[in-house]
Amino acid sequence: MTTCDLVIRDGEAILPEKGRTRCDIAISGGKIAAILEPGTALEATETLSAQGLVILPGLIDPHLHLGHGGDISRPREPQDADRETAAAAAGGITCFIPYLLATEPFEDVFEEVVGVTEGGARIDFGYHFIISTPEQLAAVPRYAAEMGAPTFKIFMNNRGGEGKRLGLPDIDDAFLFRLCELAAENGGMVCPHPENIEVAWVLRDRLKTDSGGLGDLALWNASRPPFVEADAVQRSAYLAQQAGSPLYVVHTSSKEALELGLMHRARGAKVYFETCPHYLTHDVTWSGGRMGKINPPLRERSDSERLWQGLLNGEIDTVGTDHVHRDISSKAADIWSASPGCPGLETLLPVLLTDGFHDRGLSLERIAELTSSNPARLMGLDHAKGRIAPGLDADLALVDLDARWTLKREDVKSAAGYSIYEGKVFTGSVEHTLVRGQFALKNRALADDRVGSGRYVHRKLNFA
């Protein structure tokens, strides 16, 4: 081998089919050039010692919202991407896929949005399109084939004016079914936000009259309980199966939603499940009140335990953040009017290491599946990302499994400026993050010369 750009020596990498393996990793031209026995003679422009560290494939966050200020529809200036990709890099995330929201045809805004994002991004990215109008629906073949965006979100709760908060029109089950048909015909996948909103309205109105003395988070959960989520999961899974489309259920929050979806999977539906760290670590008893207003709501501790079980036994496929970077002022109103969502990019991996690996025995190999190889495969990135293997992008997260640290508000890098994990003591820190062989984070410090180095990645689904 000729001189490589970087060699990482003496670390333990999580390798496909081998698991935790002591090795050296050679990187050239942004790609992994070779996986070598420790100490293999090799000339390199730069050498990094990973002694005492574990090397994970860079994380891929398949679910977040990248916007501008309080608007989560899309970034408006490069700084928007800079701030959130800084948070991502600090957490070992090397690629993410935000949801792009618009009422105009996406072909009218796509190039501008990609340009703005590339102008500030420190990591690579894709985009999902949120399909809400007949014009967008008709363009699904083009979005998948030409724009490299084959995954389509639909807000099943956008009925009776519910979508006005986001500027979106109403849809119905016929619209969902047509989207599933088009996804099936064009190598795509549908990602429903599952809620039976009509039932949720009935419950909300009752609780506004009589809250029963419930605290904020319990009240929010009671207004949109697990069966409201579960009903929409089973309905979308059945419709998708009839249309021949795979279904990716976002932010699964409850035992009922998971188990009804698994029932359809057992009957032959191609249903995949994502959950989020906040549903694993927080519940309705959390003392943070409306800071923890998220949609779907935080649930009971029994729901969290069932989700952990799904991570451990392979039922759940991915963990995404559903990151929202609105600042804390968005939570100032009462529980009904406060903005839903919370930031989570920089804490995704620390949560899985602390609460998963150390506390529950969630293996590093399984963490790599949930956060890298599975998202890469399901989202059409596995041609370039998701594993530590020769020929793939050198996207890596190097972690100290035993480092203990406490998250403080002043340390939060997202524009949100706060975290629901403030004060939590984590075990496991991200020391270095490499994106295509370049340090986005080195020795826990961001590399500011990487602003604008992130690139849009065209995706094509190959698993269905």
CB atoms within 10 A of CB 238: 15
Rounded distance, CA 59 to CA 372, Å? 5
Q: What is the average per-residue pLDDT within 47-68? A: 98
Residue 63 scores a pLDDT above 70: yes
Decide if 233 contacts 226 (C-beta within 8 A). Answer: no
Residue closest to 346 by CA, chosen among 85, 172, 54, 30:
85
Residue closest to 435 by CA, chosen among 421, 452, 423, 410:
452
CA-CA distances (angstroms) from residue 398 to 39, 107, 110, 383, 451? 19, 38, 33, 22, 20
Residue 17 scores a pLDDT above 70: yes
Rounded to a whole number of angstroms, the CA Rg of the chain reads 21
The pLDDT tens digits of the residues spanning 346-387 come to 999 999 999 999 999 999 999 999 999 999 999 999 999 999
Rounded distance, CA 432 to CA 439, Å? 7
Decide if 87 contacts 65 (C-beta within 8 A). Answer: no
pLDDT, position 98: 98
Share of the chain above pLDDT 90, in %: 98
* Joined tokens for residue 136: 């967008």
pLDDT band at 463 (very low <50, low <70, confident <90, very high): confident
Q: What is the average per-residue pLDDT within 128-144? A: 98
Residue closest to 279 by CA, chosen among 263, 295, 265:
295
pLDDT, position 1: 55
* Joined tokens for residue 338: 């406060």
CB atoms within 10 A of CB 115: 11
Residue 36 scores a pLDDT above 80: yes
pLDDT band at 166 (very low <50, low <70, confident <90, very high): confident
* Joined tokens for residue 445: 């410090």
The pLDDT tens digits of the residues spanning 404-428 come to 999 999 999 999 999 999 999 999 9
Contacts for 320 with CB less than 8 Å, ≥ 6 apart: 61, 62, 63, 64, 250, 251, 274, 275, 276, 375
Q: What is the average per-residue pLDDT within 37-55? A: 97
Q: What is the average per-residue pLDDT within 307-323? A: 98
Residue 464 scores a pLDDT above 80: no
pLDDT, position 2: 77
How many residues does this entry show for the chain? 464
The pLDDT tens digits of the residues spanning 248-264 come to 999 999 999 999 999 99
pTM: 0.98
Residue closest to 89 by CA, chosen among 443, 440, 458, 354:
440
pLDDT, position 392: 98
pLDDT, position 165: 85
Share of the chain above pLDDT 70, in %: 100
Q: What is the average per-residue pLDDT within 298-309? A: 98
The pLDDT tens digits of the residues spanning 172-182 come to 999 999 999 99
Decide if 66 contacts 98 (C-beta within 8 A). Answer: yes
The pLDDT tens digits of the residues spanning 207-248 come to 999 999 999 999 999 999 999 999 999 999 999 999 999 999
Determine how β-strand 93-100 pairs with β-strand 124-125: parallel
Q: Who wins on pLDDT, 153 or 166?
A: 153
Q: What is the average per-residue pLDDT within 55-65? A: 99
The pLDDT tens digits of the residues spanning 264-288 come to 999 999 999 999 999 999 999 999 9
Residue closest to 84 by CA, chosen among 35, 52, 54, 122:
122
Domains of the chain: residue spans and CATH: 4-55+392-417+425-450 (2.30.40.10), 59-379 (3.20.20.140)
Q: Which residues of 191-225 are buried (b: 16+ CB within 10 A; e: fewer)?
A: bbbbbbbeebbeebeebeeeeeebbbbbbbbbbbb
Give 433's strand partners. Answer: 397, 441
pLDDT, position 431: 98
pLDDT, position 198: 97
